[in-house]
Structure formats: C-alpha cells, structure tokens
Amino acid sequence: AALAFAACSRGEPAPASTVSLAADPEVAAATLQLAAEFLAPRALDIVSAPDAEQADLTVRLTGAEPGDALVTRYWVPVVSLDHPAAGLTMADLGELVAGHVDDWSALTGRPLPLRVLVPSVPVPPIDRWWPDGGPPPEALPLDEVRAALAGEAGVLALLPLDAVDVAMRSLAVAGVNVVFGTGDIATYPLVERIWLTTRQAEDDQFTQLLDQLADAVSRGLGVPAPAPIILRATGDIIPARCAYAVQRDLGDLRHAYLELGPWLAEADLTVGSLDAALSDAGEPLGCVETFSLLAPAASVDGLAFAGFDVMTVATNHVKDCGVAPCGDQAFFETLANLRAAGIEPVGAGADLAAARAPGIVTAGGVRFAFLGYDEIATYYHAEPGVAGTAPLNETFLREDVAAAALAADVVVVLPQWGVEYTADPTSGQRALAAAAVEAGAGLVIGNHPHWVQANEVIDGVFVAYALGNFVFDQDWSVETQQGVVLEVAFHGTQAKGVRYHPIRIVDQHQPVFADEDEAGEILQRIWDASAALE
C-alpha cells in the first residue's frame, strides 16, 4: 500500500505548493519525517499520490536493479571468536538459516550443534534473501543474542552491522566481509535496500527541487558503504643475534620481511613491538648466546619496507649495545632511526614525560593515540631527567590513557608485560588491562612472553595479552617459532572486528603464514588459554 498523507483530489497534479509522495509502509514514517523537514522551510506541503505512477517522489522496497538502489542497512552473519568458520556461500547460509541442517559438520568438519538467532528488533528481511526458505529463525532481544554467542560454541546470528563488535567473529558471504572490507562490497547480498525515483516535471525548477528532496531522503535513510580502517599488529621483533647474522649473510637486512612485509604494508596502521636496539653505536654480536640484542641501524629498512607506522620501544632490550657498553647512545639512535624511516616510536624518550607521551597517528580521518609501557626491565625505566622507557604501573596507565583520550579518538595501549613462555596471562596483566579500559583505552595489545597468549573482551574492548614472536631466532621450541598478526577493523572510532593470522618463523628470522594445520594449533592455544580465564 502506498503511503497515505493528506489526500489530493481526483488525481489532479499537485499544485506548486505541494509535493506528492508514495512510499511502502515499512519506510513510510521515516520518509514522511525527512520530506517534511526538507520541505517545511520552502513552504511546501506533502500530499499522497493517488496513483503511485504519478508521484513526484516514490520510495519502494523492491526495484529493478540492485545498482540503482540505496542501501539502508547491512546485515552480518556472526559466530563466536573461536568458531572455525570464516565464510559462507549465500546458498550454504540459506540452508543454515532455514534449519535444513542441525550442526556445522559439513561446513567446518567439526560437529558443533547449530543454533540460529536473529534480533527481535530490527528484524532481518530473510524472506527477501531466501524466498523459498523455511520458518523464520529464533528471535531474541539483542543482549540475549550476544550472551548466546559468548556462551554457546555453535551459535550463528544475523546482526545489523551497527550491532557487530569485537566479541564476535564476522563471516564473509559470497567472498565479501563487510566488517574487514574484503571483496566487492557492491555485490554483498545481505542488505536492505530502497529504490527512490522522482518524476520528470515540466518545470525545471520543480525538477531540481525533487532531486534535492531525493538527496535529502537518501542521506537520511541510506547508509554509506563500510570503509574500515585496518590495523595490523605483530608480536616481538628482534632482528638481532642469529636473525641479524642470517640476513647479513644473505646480504639483505630486509629479508625477514620479504614474505609478509607487503601484506603488512597494505594495512592503514601497522604496529610492532621492537625488543632490540637498532644502532651503529655498538657492534652486533651475531649468532652467539647473548642477551645483548643489538642490530645495525640499517635494520630499520626492513621495518620501513613492511610499512610499520608505530613501534613500541618500551621493551627490555632497547638500550642494548652489543659487544661493549655504549651508554644511552644506541637507545637514542634507535629512536632517531625509527623516526627517520617514518615510524613513530612510543613508550620511550629523553625523560619520563617524553616516555609517557602518546604517539598520535591519523588514519581514515580518525586520530589514534598509542602508548607504550614496560614492566620487565626496571633498570631501563625513565625518570625525571633520565632517559628510558615508560614504566608500566596503574597510576601512570590511568593518567596517560585519560589524557590521550582527550587528544585522540582511539587510545591503543601497547604493554610489555607478563611471564615468558606461557600462554596464560598473570592476574597482574589482567588487572592492568582492566585499568586501561576503565581509563578509556579502545584496544590493548601486549607482548614479551614470546608465546601467543589468551585474549578477552573487557567492557567491549579487545585485549590481546601477547602475540608471540614475529622476527626472532628462538628455534629451540615450537611455540617460540610461532606467533600471530592481530588484525583489527575500525569503523570510524569503533572496533568492529578482530581476527588472528598465525605465522611461523623460518630459518631463525623470516615470518611466513602458517599452514592450515599449524595455524589451527596456534589458534587453539589462544582459545584454550582464553577459555581458562572465564
């Protein structure tokens, strides 16, 4: 049925003081409000068109070609973070939603029980996507859908994009993931659309007015295509010792980054944790047993090749000098070398205030503040008038995060913390993470343990306790040769999705993507450790 406003008599054309309108009931109220707001200052009234074909403006939920339509809402299939699925075809998703299968075995190889949920408000237009489908899925209030996703391994939910967050895993549909911006968004099928058409009037001024009205209604009802800001963060980077020696012998100090560097550089923000000094102030020790982790200044070329934007240097080897002591020279040269390569060092400086200051980087129109801290090497900590790293304690953390939140849109905390060679964060790590979130942090990414560690979501904020190694020579155990790259999708200032990309370090220096079996093992250690936190 067409939208019923004040009637126009006998189907005669609307006089110059009116605009006739026809709209489907589902969008009638919103269209009326938007049109009235636009027309009121112009002393024009809205009337209903007795014949929709003659309406000045028509708003319909169906039309000829999707490309001519306006998207009003994106819908996203989501599962728990540890769910094995990554994407579905439209046909497979339809089978799940229709209740034609009762577990995930055929799609993931795991016999997880399937439960399909949708929010009670808004309701997804499932009958438009699958006209021949089965009965509608179970509908629950949004908070109950969220609780089910967190508590039941096999839940599949269809949520509007604005309800998706980092506590869930978004799935690609037909090769398109709207959260992470992969695939051709124009072909994404899970959308609500409207079709707006205007009548070609004899009066050019009136035609122009109708075009302006259509634009106003479009802006009010439509949503822009998602344009996520992608952040990728690595584990520990230590291009020293054997990692240095291998690259030196290969004649290329960028060699560690040749496989994954181009992919890292594609991100809008690439973030790392440098647990070494990059300086020519001392002599590197090469492939020997040592804890003095110095690499040549030219090693920064590899970081630049990989597109790093931000590097926390609040780590326990940033003042190392190699063969012989060099005071703070290697430390200051490391900061200078990073800046010269266009990489913002955070978490260290000429004094305590400088070490605690955020590095602010803008991506996609959003200002991100990065704060680095170290709780491991107290002997390298900065003090008033003393150069060094930012000490990790709750007082500094709360003060700095709150201050950074006033200067930026999103605050990212990069702590060096925890116990080496374990997947389990300490109670102290968890308490500090909670303090950071309470103070206003939007993301927490830790490192130092040289193993992947658990994650958790605290009050809607994702916390990754450690990402393992990224560039290092620790080939004496499987776990120390593994890590993950964390990818976070921001939509504006909101983190909408996270996913891990497991890596394996080969030849004591070069990270590559892990194969499917090893990737599953790495992820399972994260999920097991995360489950143990509950």
Domain assignment present for 65: no
Tokens 């963060």 correspond to 233
Tell me, yes or no, whether 442 lies in a domain.
Answer: yes
Helix/strand/coil for 59 = strand
Instruction: Look at strands 191-198 and 461-464 and give their pairing.
Output: unpaired
Decide if 453 contacts 424 (C-beta within 8 A). Answer: yes
Do 462 and 399 sit in the same domain of this protein? yes
Range of the domain at 115: 74-186
Kind and range of the H or E run holding 495: strand 494-506
* 478 assigned to some structural domain: yes
Q: What pLDDT score does 53 carry?
A: 82
Evaluate whether residue 352 is within a structural domain. yes
Contacts of 422 (CB under 8 A, 6+ apart): 449, 451, 453
pLDDT of residue 67: 62
DSSP secondary structure code for residue 106 in this structure:
H
215 and 236 belong to one structural domain: no
Quote the crossing angle between the two packed helices 394-407 and 427-439, to the nearest 10°: 30
- 343 and 405 housed in the same domain: yes
Tell me: do 105 and 141 sit in the same domain: yes
**Is 388 found in the same domain as 469?**
yes
68 inside domain: no
DSSP state of 223: -
**Shared-domain flag, residues 167 and 204:** no
Measured from the Cβ of residue 431, the count of other Cβ atoms closer than 10 Å reads 11
Alpha helices, H only, 269-393: 300-305, 329-340, 352-356
Q: Is residue 81 part of a domain?
A: yes
| Rounded-to-integer distance, Cα 57 and Cα 217, Å | 10
Residue 145 structure tokens? 């859908």
> Residue 263: what are its φ and ψ, rounded to 5°?
-70, -45
Q: Which amino acid is at 408?
A: A
Contact 397, 432 (CB under 8 A): yes
Query: 133: domain CATH number?
Result: 3.40.190.10
Provide the 3-class DSSP secondary structure of residue 55.
Answer: coil
Domain count, the chain: 3
Whether 375 and 492 map to the same domain: the answer is yes
CB 8 within 8 A of CB 49: yes
Which candidate, 64, 74, 61, places its Cα nearest to that of 31? 61
What string of pLDDT tens digits covers the 534 residues of the chain? 344 333 333 344 444 588 989 999 989 899 989 999 999 999 998 888 888 888 999 999 887 666 678 999 999 999 999 999 999 999 999 999 999 999 999 999 889 999 999 999 999 999 999 998 889 999 999 999 999 999 999 999 999 999 999 999 999 999 999 999 999 999 999 999 999 989 888 888 888 999 999 999 999 999 999 999 999 999 999 999 999 999 999 999 999 999 999 999 999 999 999 999 999 999 999 999 999 999 999 999 999 999 999 999 999 999 999 999 999 999 999 999 999 999 999 999 999 999 999 999 999 999 999 999 999 999 999 999 999 999 999 999 999 999 999 999 999 999 999 999 999 999 999 999 999 999 999 999 999 999 999 999 999 999 999 999 999 999 999 999 999 999 999 999 999 999 999 999 999 999 999 999 999 999 999 999 999 997
In this structure, what token pair is assigned to residue 497?
């999705």
159 and 197 in a single domain? The answer is no
Specify if 255 maps to a domain: yes
CA 450 to chain centroid = 23
Is the residue at 66 inside a domain? no
Answer yes or no: are the C-beta atoms of 15 and 51 closer than 8 Å. Answer: no
Question: Are 15 and 118 part of one and the same domain?
Answer: no
Statement to judge: residues 216 and 237 lie in one domain: no
Residues, the chain: 534
Considering the domain architecture, whether residues 103 and 26 belong to the same structural domain is answered as: no
Backbone angles phi, psi at 78, to 5 degrees: -130, 155
Same domain assignment for residues 197 and 243? no
Cross-strand pairs, 23? 59
Rg (CA), the chain: 28
Q: Which residue has the tokens 């594609």?
A: 266
CATH value at residue 469:
3.60.21.10
